[in-house]
Amino acid sequence: MRDINLFTIRVFVMVYESLNSLSVANALNVAPSKISRCLSALRHALGDPLFIRRQYGFEPTPTADKLYPYFQQILCLLGQINENTGEAGTAPQRHYIIYAPPTLSCRLGTVLKKRAAEERQELSLSVRPLSATGPEDLLQGRADLMLSFKASEKERLDSRFIATGERLYIVARDDHPIWQRPPNNMLDAIINYPFLVTECPAFNDRIDPLELYALDQGRQLKLAGKAGVLSEVSDYLMDSDAITFIGATTAAEYLQHFPGVTMREMSEPEFNLLHDRCPPPNYYVIGRKEEGAVPEWLMSSLCDFVHESVTKPPKTHQGGANDIFPSQFNPSMAG
């Protein structure tokens, strides 16, 4: 380790936080090959790959998980030294890591950075998939905020209720037979087709509301699988008769850009019928209780984003399933 310099340590921390070496190269204004050389030097020194390439990006190894808090502390101490010696301009930028379910990951970073600009704040941000280890990652400093479907019971974590979900979008391919159904009479027909669960940990990881509804009707829902990211949803639906549900407007707007996919908002009567025994999801933001862990403007901006995504605006019409997001290649489906 004697040959590892501070720049390499900073590269490791930034790659660990973003899980994207190209974005780190852009942020540091260096060639991607320089990032690769830094990581190679660390791998050689530690005898560990540190990051394993997966389909969705990098995944840190257990050694990287152990190393990260120490390297992060080194950079924090460096920032304090710079401040005390009048070199505050060279202090490392504060980087925030937010865990979010796939339905709330879309546009989250863009919205928060826009709000940061309005607040005249610099914001470095990574949005990562919500997982069961989220609370522990918050406690260990590996994450700063977590969007969850249930409050945390851990003493050192603070849970803020945001909203109860009021929207649900039915999603299937453009030419799916389900679109021939009347808007207020789709739920029972949906059970006839394979159902793709869009995973929301702590809400539908054990049983999805549609599974419970089908059982109450004396029927067995055929599960097509589970999708952990929204990009998987469109790929799966295009090649099958499967249907899925999406509970956030931002996610629906994201899927709207994929050709061949159509979605409609579920009517209010069927929404209430679906959640008769399984209530709609509650949304919470969870963070550490320590003062100053996250600026209040960032916390409130995150809450506003979620609230606008999962609730209906005041005085909106209640047409429900008449709201349709057709594929740009099949505009006739809107009729």
pTM: 0.66
**pLDDT at site 203:** 67
Q: What is the mean pLDDT of residues 226-243?
A: 81
**pLDDT at site 186:** 92
**pLDDT at site 326:** 47
C-alpha to C-alpha distances, 4 to 57, 129, 308, nearest whole angstrom: 25, 31, 46
- At 236, is the pLDDT very low, low, confident or very high (cuts 50, 70, 90)? confident
Report yes or no: 146 and 98 within 8 Å, Cβ to Cβ. Answer: yes
Report yes or no: 37 and 4 within 8 Å, Cβ to Cβ. Answer: no
Q: What is the mean pLDDT of residues 175-183?
A: 91
Q: What is the mean pLDDT of residues 194-201?
A: 80
Token pair, residue 122, equals 């610099």
**pLDDT at site 33:** 84
Token pair, residue 66, equals 């152990």
Compute the distance between CA of residue 170 and CA of residue 266 in angstroms, rounded to an integer: 6
Tell me if residue 245 falls in helix, strand or coil. strand
**pLDDT at site 86:** 52
Q: What is the mean pLDDT of residues 134-154?
A: 88
Report yes or no: 15 and 21 within 8 Å, Cβ to Cβ. Answer: yes
**pLDDT at site 328:** 39
Compute the distance between CA of residue 66 and CA of residue 33 in angstroms, rounded to an integer: 25
28-57 in b/e form (b: 16+ CB < 10 A) is eeeeeeebeebbebbeeeeeeebbeeeeee
Report yes or no: 15 and 39 within 8 Å, Cβ to Cβ. Answer: yes
Q: What is the mean pLDDT of residues 86-93?
A: 46
Compute the distance between CA of residue 285 and CA of residue 149 in angstroms, rounded to an integer: 9
**pLDDT at site 243:** 92
Please state, for a pLDDT cut of 70, what percent of the chain lies above it. Answer: 84
**pLDDT at site 3:** 62
CA dihedral 56, 57, 59, 65 (to 10 degrees): -130
Compute the distance between CA of residue 270 and CA of residue 286 in angstroms, rounded to an integer: 31
- At 76, is the pLDDT very low, low, confident or very high (cuts 50, 70, 90)? low
Per the rule left: phi > 0, alpha: psi between -120 and 50, beta: everything else, 131 is beta
Mean pLDDT of the chain: 81
Most confident of the ranges 69-73, 189-193, 226-230: 189-193
Token pair, residue 85, equals 């010696």
**pLDDT at site 56:** 56
C-alpha to C-alpha distances, 57 to 16, 77, 200, 292, nearest whole angstrom: 11, 30, 20, 31
Q: What is the mean pLDDT of residues 140-146?
A: 88
**pLDDT at site 92:** 47
The tokens 């006739």 sit on which residue? 332
State the CB neighbour count (10 A cutoff) for residue 72.
20
Residue 1 has pLDDT above 90, yes or no: no
Report yes or no: 130 and 246 within 8 Å, Cβ to Cβ. Answer: no
Residue 85 has pLDDT above 60, yes or no: no
Compute the distance between CA of residue 34 and CA of residue 325 in angstroms, rounded to an integer: 44
**pLDDT at site 167:** 92
Q: What is the 3-state secondary structure (H, E, C) of 137-167?
A: HHHCCCCCEEEECCCCCCCCEEEEEEEECCC
**DSSP assignment letter at 276:** S
19-72 pLDDT per residue, tens: 778 878 877 778 888 888 888 888 888 888 988 876 556 788 888 888 887 787
Residue 90 has pLDDT above 50, yes or no: no
257-316 pLDDT per residue, tens: 778 888 899 999 999 999 888 889 999 999 988 766 788 888 999 999 999 999 988 764
Among 42-46, 176-180, 321-325, whose mean pLDDT is lowest? 321-325
